[in-house]
A and B are shown apart, each in its own frame.
Chain A
Amino acid sequence: MSDETKPGLPSPLRRKLLMGMAALPAMSMLGRPAFADVPATSAVNTTGLAVTDSEVTVGILHSVTGTMAISETGSVEAEKLAIEQINAAGGVLGRKIKFIQEDGASDWPTFAEKAKKLLVNDKCAAVMGCWTSASRKAVLPVFEQYNGMLYYPTFYEGLEQSKNVIYTGQEATQQIIAGLDWVNKTKGAKSFYLLGSDYIWPRTSNKIARKHIENHLQGCKVVGEEYFPLGSTQFNSVINKIKLTKPDVIYAIIVGGSNVAFYKQLKAAGIDLSKQTLLTISVTEDEIDGIGGENIAGAYACMKYFQSLDNPNNKAFVPAFKKMWGEKTVIGDVTQAAYLGPWLWKLTVEKAQSFDIDKIAAASPGVEFKGAPEGYVRIHENHHLWSKTRVGRAKADGQYELIYETADLVEPNPFPKGYQ
């Protein structure tokens, strides 16, 4: 490793690079040798990261085994696609991205251990990874101690900000407030029934939702709020309660296998989602695959990305994804956010002209990615993303139809005043 980090291109490496370029027709479009302006490794890597003259190593840290594999598979696929595309377009500062993938195995201590391995042994210049808040909380001290950079893709509850993390998903207020305002304005909704799986994200999100409903929406009230243990599969009792209280909106933040049970039983109980408004922030196209489009058709979801978005970036992204991972795969909000990670990192490195973590952390605010499938995004000073919030309506074919999107980018606000 130490040989390769010396400045200047040793000739076998140069040949390898040239061969690699010949294999990539896309490169010829650049019109000039990509490595002509490759900065010396010693200049862009002063902290001993795994950067050579031709390669830079990043880590991918998700669960591909265990319960969470259901959700995290899409993120892994998106990150690999982004890396492949970046390499095809010339890499980062003239260096090809090489990735090392580790399996968090749906186990939080394993995540921490693997994060340490990626940072300490492999010296990864960045890590794309984690999905649940629990896994992020487990690796956070590791990233802060060993000064790594994590690109975290999931929409989450907020209340966190770190120099060592870029949050590419939405935090809770971005996802919740616009949706509630929309349902209140267009549906005239006054009464809300809040549901959730029993852990930190749904509870924090519902807390924000309740504060917003009670303090900011005129004449609106919460008529029920309930939580179910993760993995719960029986919802008939709460469905009866919903029938009794007749809320204008069912606000559901149920996750995992419970989701499937909830929507199937809702339909079986005769609650027709074309008449009863249901707004969820936890069901992406990925989940609909398991639930079955016919069981959830008519429900509204509030997030920042839908596979059906009609813009040029997304029109290129969706076919590329399907070409790599199969015609049948679907792309949900988090998958798209995971795709942003490697791109934002590349753009930040190029802005900073350095792989050093401290310089990247400092250069991140203001980095914009115009090629994002969701449209334009920009990193905020608090390391979250400015992004639009959208409401979609589920169709029987498992896709969302875009109903509404905010006119402007919504500012991320991980520590919302008056909502805690």
Chain B
Amino acid sequence: MKRAGFASRWLPILLLVPQLSIILVFFYWPAAYAVKSSFYLQDPFGFGQTFVGLENYSSLADSAEYLRVTNFTVVFTVLVTFFSLALALLLAVKADKVIRGAKSYRTLLMWVYAVAPPVAGYMGLLLFNQRWGPLTEFFNVFGWEFNLRADYFDTAFAMVVVSVWKQVPVNFIFFLSGLQSIPKSVREAALIDNRSASGRFWDVTFPLLAPTGFFLLIINITYALFDTFGVIDTLVKGEPANNPMTLVYKVYIDGFRGNDLGGSSAQSVVLMLLVLALTVFQFRMVEKRIHYT
């Protein structure tokens, strides 16, 4: 194959400049700034800073609060990822079987995708409202005194539900297209080879969906870790004190509410390392992934 080339060496650089400058301004610069300020203790009113070395990190390691938030983040991420994948897979498998009105059914399921996270959070707020939220009333019927924002568990529950609800449509779209790319005849061959529908699913359909599933797993972990910020912010706004929150939200709270820029920066750096580790893990796995044709 002939390689296309540029006549001038400046043109490619010129073409790369906009992209590079965006990354530089919005990612590398803040990231570098965060790393730098994580070694300082800032005056809350902006009157200077003191170099403290690794003190911000060591106080994180000693903080019971930080440990609690980390634990919650792990549980939250696992729950959100699992349920949004499982529900989406279930819906996709069912939608795949629908023949009549399939289009409108799919469109309805995908709609939620268009809802922005804070809007989703706000809708959750209405649904779970302490006094008149329909879901709160529903739980009250079963004797569960649901108490959003006041009860740690109930708030966490609402967070997971809203986050899952928001993420299911994306997963649904991917799973459905994954299902539809499985050759019809392969499924028919399975129909002849195996009389059990669940057996066919786990032996044939599920392994053939694995590449899609793995991709979605990474996307969903990232979603649960970072993109749920809007949902959490809306649900706990005003009283984050005793409510559950994730690591990302704590970065915001400590930095902008608590004015502890150094501590907040240290948390950001920890998160960045976490993402880096996840990304490495992802690429290792993607490369190992069996490739089907």
Q: Do A and B bind each other?
A: no
